[in-house]
């Protein structure tokens, strides 16, 4: 893969996004934005981006917290995530600003962009869809599902796919039902993949706290990844 720094500033904050492109390919027909979890922009995102290039896409490891927060370590990142969870309006503003920057990158065809996210990033991509941003699709993996405290009108233009571990204590069944009702009311083209026996963070190889409902599940992770491939092919073919 080839990596290109997309360092951008918003106000007095600097964000270290990274574009990952297939080898020997000048451009890619479609871009997948990869949104991180509590850990901030990380090597885990770059590994996911690399896997996406093997399907012929280019990917951007998105930095939502900014370089200063990530440099502050795990606790600083956790505090930033907690602050955004308590201020969904502020999160919406950050997402909008970051999307505005990234969709203006010359290498990106703004009409062929999908966003995927994991854990906190899964919540973020759902909020991107809720806000009506005109991406082709969003995909949430073991994300938080609760609706924000702001509301938007009209249909959701992005296709929505949700991959959910049924035993995830951070997203209980009532949240799943509420999300389905919300997406239906907004006229979304949505689908839900619920995996029995899977907990929170089932896609993350480093997740190993089953007593807290956090556990990597390699079989489910493989199923979800293959489903993502099918969804991306269908989404971009539909364009």
Provide the residue ranges of all domains of the chain, joining segments of one domain with +. 2-237
Q: Tokens representing 191?
A: 């689908």
Give 3-state DSSP helix, strand, coil % of the chain, rounded to 5: 40, 25, 40
pLDDT digits (tens, 9 = 90+) for 78-116: 999 999 999 999 999 999 999 999 999 999 999 999 999
Question: CA–CA separation, 208 vs 188, rounded Å?
Answer: 34
Q: What is the mean pLDDT of the chain?
A: 95
Reported as a single tens digit per residue, the pLDDT across 180-192 is 999 999 999 999 9
- Looking at residue 101, its pLDDT comes to 95
Model confidence at 16: pLDDT above 60: yes
Paired tokens of 188: 């979304």
Average pLDDT over residues 64-91: 96
Structure tokens at 206: 């480093």
**Which DSSP letter does residue 11 get?**
T
Measured distance CA(149)–CA(141) in Å, rounded? 22
Cα separation, 224 vs 117, whole angstroms: 13
| Residue 28 pLDDT | 60
Residue 163 CB coordination number (10 Å): 28
The span from the CA of 130 to the CA of 175, in Å, is: 15
Contact 197, 215 (CB under 8 A): no
Domain 2-237 classification at class level? alpha beta
Residue with tokens 């904050």, as numbered in its chain: 13
Q: Is the pLDDT of residue 65 over 60?
A: yes
Provide the percentage of residues in the chain whose pLDDT is more than 70: 97
* E strand map for 56-167: 58-62, 113-118, 137-141, 159-165
Exposed e or buried b for every residue in 57-94, given b needs 16+ CB within 10 A?
A: bbbbbbbbbbbebbeeeeeebeebbeebeeebeebbeb
* Residue 177 confidence (pLDDT) above 90: yes
**Percent of the chain clearing pLDDT 90 (strictly above):** 92
């Amino acid at each position: 893969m080839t990596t290109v720094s997309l360092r951008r500033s918003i106000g007095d904050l600097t964000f270290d996004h990274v574009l990952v492109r297939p080898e020997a390919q000048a451009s890619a027909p479609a871009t997948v934005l990869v949104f991180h979890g509590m850990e901030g922009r990380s090597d885990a995102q770059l590994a996911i981006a690399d896997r996406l290039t093997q399907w012929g896409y280019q990917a951007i490891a998105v930095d939502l917290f900014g370089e200063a927060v990530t440099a502050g370590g795990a606790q600083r990142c956790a505090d930033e995530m907690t602050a955004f969870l308590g201020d969904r309006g502020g999160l919406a503003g950050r997402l909008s600003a970051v999307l505005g920057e990234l969709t203006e990158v010359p290498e990106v065809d703004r009409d062929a962009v999908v966003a995927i996210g994991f854990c906190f990033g899964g919540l973020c991509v759902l909020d991107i869809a809720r806000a009506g941003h005109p991406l082709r699709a969003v995909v949430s993996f073991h994300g938080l599902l609760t609706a924000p405290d702001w509301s938007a009108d009209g249909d959701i233009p992005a296709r929505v796919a949700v991959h959910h571990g049924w035993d995830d204590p951070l997203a209980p069944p009532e949240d799943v039902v509420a999300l389905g009702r919300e997406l239906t009311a907004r006229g979304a083209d949505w689908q839900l993949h619920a995996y029995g026996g899977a907990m929170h963070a089932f896609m993350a190889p480093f997740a190993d706290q089953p007593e807290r409902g956090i556990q990597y599940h390699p079989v489910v992770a493989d199923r979800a990844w293959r489903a993502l491939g099918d969804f991306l092919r269908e989404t971009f073919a539909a364009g």
